[in-house]
Chains A and B, each alone.
Chain A
Amino acid sequence: MRLKLKDVEFSYSSVKVLDDVCLDLDEPKFVCVLGPNGVGKSTLVHCINRILKPQKGVVLLDQANVQEMGLKEVARKVGYVPQASTDMFPLTVVDTVLMGRHPHSGWNTSERDLDIVTGILGLLGIDDLALRSFDELSAGQKQKVLIARGLAQEPQLLLLDEPTSNLDIRHQLEVMELLGDLVRSRDLMVVMVSHDLNITARYAHLVIMMKGGRIFAVGTPEQVFTEENIRSVYGVEAQVVTTGAKPYVVPLAACKAPMAGEGSDLVRVEGMAPVGHAEPALPSDMSP
């Protein structure tokens, strides 16, 4: 699976959320998208699986333009795990995961669908929940069920929107390890929106840091998580230390100076070659 974004631009009415986003990912990797709230991370993900239609630019899956593919065709290649929410009319876990087979099957649930679903439940170690109602589950269990549904789509690319946002530390690690294993064992490309810098640093192969609707920096966690980048993207003074060969971000304080106008200091990084932020953050960035 090769995922390529060219000059993708998206606006909600007049507010530009994504501006000129270019990206090229071509091998199974664990990719995390980070950035402050409202920076366009979820929008980016939604443009990839055709939930939203970018006003400009193209999204290519193996050379095919996503906008020219049918919704079902995209759904067979790209799995999506939304944030866990409360369903109004909850189904059982099996039925919830079976929904992931929707793009592949017709009206009837086939034997194969059921095989795939039970297999995935086993893989994630949640077979004991099979006939429980989705809304009775804990947040961590719900998240696993939603991941199971994404996997039931048998995708080559799995998109996740903040899957660890309201999980305790153990469940966060479990989910991340699970995703890491899937990337290795299933040739799956995982693109995940995340807020947790340190968890991301431990597991991601590639980090995409966004600011003001653009890609601000791309690279390995070591390359991207620098004190300058964190200051200019999040407006936070932080200390980056290295533990266990991975960077660890210790936030110190929110920057006093207001952040510079969005988009003024962006460095666009093309391609997936691990390139850190090309220059150190400009001093002008921090002054009013």
Chain B
Amino acid sequence: MTSNGVPGTKASPFGLLSAFKGRNDASIKGQYRTYLFNKFLFMLSCGALVVVISGVSATLGSYDLRFLEVYQIIFDHLLKWSEPETVKVFVVWQLRLPRIIMGVVAGFGLAIAGTAMQGIMKNPLADPYTTGISAGAGFGAAIAIILNFGVVVGQYAIIINAFLFSLIPTFIIVSLTRFRRPTPSMMVLAGIATMYIFTAMTSLFMISADPNSVQAVYVWTVGTLDKASWTSIPIVFAIVVLGSVYLQVMAKNLNVMGMGDAGAKSLGVNVERTRVLILAVISLMTAAIVSFTGVIGFIGLVSPHVVRIFLGSDNKYLLPASGLFGAALLLGADAVARTIIAPTILPVGIITAFIGGPLFLYLIMRREKEVW
């Protein structure tokens, strides 16, 4: 937010000032602050939504827990480490919480990555999934897991390998933008082609590694939170947080790049370098998430579009808000996936595809009217 305290309300220094001066000039500022304040409120509500859905999600499952009980158990456990080993604590802490935290981190990371990607590419169809970055990372992670890199060098190796392979689609994107001036649809077609190739290779690799693993392959290529555990959370969390901070710092540059390359350069942004750096960060975040969840689609596509309706396109506010919204969305989708045909737990990617697919279609159909 802006520097001087809570902006926007009538009592703010600016409201008073404008009342004294009675000038149009100051009242624009007052209005602008109200407008920023509303964005801030929206972000707060998204945050609250994440907390609430987390609680609801923790009550779901065969062991019965009440909504408030969940928070109480979490607080108790956080405050006194000598926990009474009750079943309740075990269920919350070991079974449900890792899944929820992974859901929040993954949803937040994918949504922020998608938002940044749409911004730098001026492309409403772009996100790590539709551009093939997720599929590339998924393939890299699958190789590392099957060849047991993880056992030898630890889980970092999985992420590093996923990152290396996610750079292939990224490289395709960068070269396309540099040499071909692609339309948004062309970019996404290239991304989907890349995605098919990597998905096919992943399936092939996994099936040939273990003839019985067809289902595992399927779950992996659709994306699931089933494999979340306390051991994988810290590294994913760290990468997502650092990546998000970087993207937030670059938010203004993202806005400026929305004007097109020439316009952005004329405002002092080194367009080529910024684009490559941001794509690299997006790839890293995606790689970290995909390494432990598989390829979850559409969160990065849907979240920014929904949040833009309420917040507008200013990336400074859009990025964090759509991150929070993405976290809520993924958690919600996972809650549905766990309950809709319980006790069978669906991969969450199926639910996100049900939400994202129609939106994707809608965006493509609406195309006729737009420039792209």
Q: What is the interface of chain A, defined by CB distance below 8 A to chain B?
A: 46, 49-51, 70-76, 78-80, 82, 85-92, 94-95, 99-100, 102-103, 107-111, 114, 118-119, 121-122, 127, 130-131, 133, 153, 159
* Complex interface: stretch among B59-67, B93-101, B259-267: B259-267
Let me know if B196 is at the binding interface, CB within 8 A. no
* Complex interface: stretch among B29-37, B76-84, B347-355: B29-37
- Please indicate the chain B residues that have their CB under 8 angstroms from the CB of A80 in the complex: 262-263, 266-267
- Give 19 new A-B contacts, CB below 8 A, not counting A89-B308, A108-B3: A49-B266, A71-B265, A74-B268, A75-B268, A78-B266, A82-B262, A85-B371, A86-B371, A87-B258, A88-B124, A89-B122, A91-B312, A92-B35, A94-B32, A102-B253, A103-B268, A107-B249, A110-B3, A121-B28
Question: In whole angstroms, what is the CA distance A70 to B119 when docked?
Answer: 24
- Please indicate the chain A residues that have their CB under 8 angstroms from the CB of B262 in the complex: 46, 51, 80, 82
Question: In whole angstroms, what is the CA distance A109 to B314 when docked?
Answer: 13
- Please indicate the chain A residues that have their CB under 8 angstroms from the CB of B312 in the complex: 90-92, 95, 133
Tell me the nearest residue of chain B to A88, going by C-beta.
B122
Let me know if B49 is at the binding interface, CB within 8 A. no
Chain B, 226-284, CB within 8 A of any chain A CB:
249, 251-253, 255-256, 258-260, 262-263, 265-270
- Please indicate the chain A residues that have their CB under 8 angstroms from the CB of B119 in the complex: 89
Question: In whole angstroms, what is the CA distance A121 to B372 when docked?
Answer: 30
Let me know if B215 is at the binding interface, CB within 8 A. no
- Please indicate the chain B residues that have their CB under 8 angstroms from the CB of A75 in the complex: 266-268
Let me know if B123 is at the binding interface, CB within 8 A. yes
Question: In whole angstroms, what is the CA distance A95 to B255 when docked?
Answer: 9
Please, what's the 1-or-0 string for B310-334, where 1 marks a CB less than 8 Å from any CB in chain A? 0011100000000000000000000
Let me know if B212 is at the binding interface, CB within 8 A. no
Minimum distance in angstroms from A158 CB to a CB of chain B: 11
Tell me the nearest residue of chain A to B123, going by C-beta.
A88
Tell me the nearest residue of chain B to A71, going by C-beta.
B268
- Please indicate the chain B residues that have their CB under 8 angstroms from the CB of A103 in the complex: 267-268
Q: Known contacts being A85-B260, A91-B312, A127-B25, is A70 close to B268, with CB within 8 Å?
A: yes
Q: Known contacts being A82-B262, A121-B28, is A99 close to B3, with CB within 8 Å?
A: no
Q: What is the interface of chain B, defined by CB distance below 8 A to chain A?
A: 2-4, 24-26, 28-29, 31-32, 35, 118-119, 122-124, 249, 251-253, 255-256, 258-260, 262-263, 265-270, 308, 312-314, 370-372
Question: In whole angstroms, what is the CA distance A114 to B122 when docked?
Answer: 26
Q: Known contacts being A107-B249, A108-B2, is A90 close to B313, with CB within 8 Å?
A: yes
- Please indicate the chain A residues that have their CB under 8 angstroms from the CB of B4 in the complex: 111
6 A–B pairs (Cβ distance < 8 Å), ordered by A: A71-B268, A80-B262, A86-B370, A89-B119, A91-B313, A99-B259
From B122, B258, B370, name the one whose CB has the most chain A CB atoms within 10 angstroms: B258
Question: In whole angstroms, what is the CA distance A15 to B25 when docked?
Answer: 49
Q: Known contacts being A71-B270, A75-B268, A88-B372, is A131 close to B263, with CB within 8 Å?
A: no
From A99, A127, A130, name the one whose CB has the most chain B CB atoms within 10 angstroms: A99
Minimum distance in angstroms from B27 CB to a CB of chain A: 9
**A118: contacting residue among B28, B313, B370, B372, CB under 8 A:** B28
**B25: contacting residue among A71, A74, A122, CB under 8 A:** A122
- Please indicate the chain A residues that have their CB under 8 angstroms from the CB of B266 in the complex: 49, 51, 75, 78-80, 82, 159
Question: In whole angstroms, what is the CA distance A110 to B29 when docked?
Answer: 12
- Please indicate the chain A residues that have their CB under 8 angstroms from the CB of B251 in the complex: 107
